[in-house]
Structure formats: structure tokens, C-alpha cells
Amino acid sequence: MKYLPLMVMLITAGICVACKTTQPGAFRAIINKSPLEKVVTYYYAAFEGGELGLVTGFAGQVFYTNDHAATWRRSANSSFCLFTLEINGSYIWACGDKGNVRVSKNRGRTFEPLADFGPPEPGHCRYLSFSSPNTGWIASPALLAGTADGGKTWTGITLPPGCARLVAIDLITDTQGLILDSKGVLYSTENGGATWRPQPLGTGMRAIDLEIRNSPAVALRFVNPAQGILVARIKDPFSISVFATSNGGANWKGSTLTTDRDYTHNSVYLSRDLETITLLDTENQTVSVFSSR
């Protein structure tokens, strides 16, 4: 009987994880079109909860907030333009033009260089996913690599046969991960990319926009190889929608996040805990954050 409380806790935890991935309609706006400082063109934004957030922009400028976008401070960074972000605890990674890759170990206050990856624009690095401070994936639309030393070195990962250009990546654990290509095929691996299993996006998935942009316009996160969330733009009728799967992408349950056409040209970030969605309106230069907490 002494194991009963532990069993109840584990069962409850499993139910909570399922809720995150099978109930995508619970997101609500906690930051609505907050204007950004008009000192730079911004390319990408990422929030973890409503408090910590970052935006990347022209000529390597990065700004961070710790007060729900009320005020922004400029990060100490030197690089070319950065087009994506990844947050995992106090670590934040960014990458972009000329192969530049940067990491912050203090929640965005300062960034330091890592090993370069990828070509210059337009084929630049724009996807990042880290399962831990040391282990992560990095990608351009045509290249995928991994690191086991926090980005000091990158090792190329062979894409699966028939894989088109990449639109999203997600490293769940040190060895489990998924990639989504521009043809709508989801590839999963259990061994760090040595082998891949293809799964075309299945039933319940409307016609999502898989056009490749300078920054990620599709967000993909899984808590295990079966259960995950995908956030993407729907072409007609327009919406930003959230889709959840519990069987590895064979079936999806969708929910509309917003139908506001201000987000026609936006970037998308989904936090690793699947609870915070960030939309950067790249035309009007505003940031919005939605939370399921």
C-alpha cells in the first residue's frame, strides 16, 4: 500500500500530459499585439510563459523582457541577423545569417558565439531544438545537424530518403525527435537520426501553409513520439490553428487560435512545455502571446 500514492501521482501526471496534447483549444491571449520598439526590424519572437520573452532582429540585435513585454532591454550580442530562438530553462539559443549561432546562459542578458552552422541567406539556419543544455538539433531548410556538447561542434544528420525541405524540427529527448517537411510528411527517429519512420500528416489536418519563410512559421513539439502539438497557418479560410495528435501524427484534433488577418505574415514559437504560443506580426511589428496555463 505504501506505493499507492506514487502510483496515483504517476497516473495523474500522465493525464496532465494527455491534456496538453489532446485539448489544444484552451489557449487564451495574455499579451495582445504589444508594439515593439521601432529601432530595428524584428524577425522572430519567443516567450516562455508571459513573463520571459525575446525578439531577434536586424544586424544581430536581440531584446529581452521579464515583465510581460511592458519594457524591453537590449541583450549583449554581436552577430549577423538572427532568425530563430529556442528556450530551455536559463539557456537560450539563436541562429541565422552567415552561419552564426549564439547561446545565452543567463536568460537573454548576454549571448556568446557557438560553432557556425549553415550557409548565408537565403539558405540560412532557422530551426533549433534542444532537449538539454548539451544536446540539440539545428537546421536550415536543406540541412540537419546535432550536437552533444552544447553547440561547440555540429555533426551532420542524414535526412531520410524522399524528404523535402524542412519546415519544423523537434528533439524530444537526446535520441528521439521529429522533422516536418514541406510536403507535409512527419519523420520520426528513435536513434538520433540513424533511421527514420515517415508519417504523412493524417486525418483531421486541414490544408496548412507549409511555405518556407525566413523564420519558422510552423511550430512542432512532442512530449513523446505519440503525443504532440503543431501550430500553423491555415490558408482558406484563414486562421492560425493548433492541432494535437496522440498517435504520432496519423490523426489530429484541431482548434482555431485566431482568425485575425494581422497574422497573415507571422512567425510562430511554441514553448517546450507546450503551454505558450508566441506570434510575431512581422509586418506590423507586434508580439502576441497565448497561454494554456
Whether 122 contacts 109, CB under 8 Å: no
Whether 130 contacts 170, CB under 8 Å: no
Architecture of domain 4-291: 6 Propeller (2.120)
pLDDT recorded at residue 234: 94
Rounded Cα distance, 132 and 282, in Å: 29
Distance, CA of 84 to chain centre: 8
Residue 281 confidence (pLDDT) above 60? yes
For Cα atoms 49, 105, 130, give the angle at the middle one, nearest 5 degrees.
Answer: 65
pLDDT digits (tens, 9 = 90+) for 128-180: 999 999 999 999 999 999 999 999 999 999 999 999 999 999 999 999 999 99
pLDDT digits (tens, 9 = 90+) for 61-88: 999 999 999 999 999 999 999 999 999 9
Q: State the pTM of this model.
A: 0.91
Residue ranges of domains in the chain = 4-291
Cell of 198: 515517415
Note the residue count of the chain: 293
Whether 18 contacts 228, CB under 8 Å: no
Range in 10-19, 28-37, 174-183, 233-242 with the lowest mean pLDDT: 10-19
> Cβ of 13: how many Cβ atoms within 10 Å?
10
Instruction: Tell me the longest C-alpha to C-alpha distance in the chain.
Output: 63
pLDDT recorded at residue 80: 98
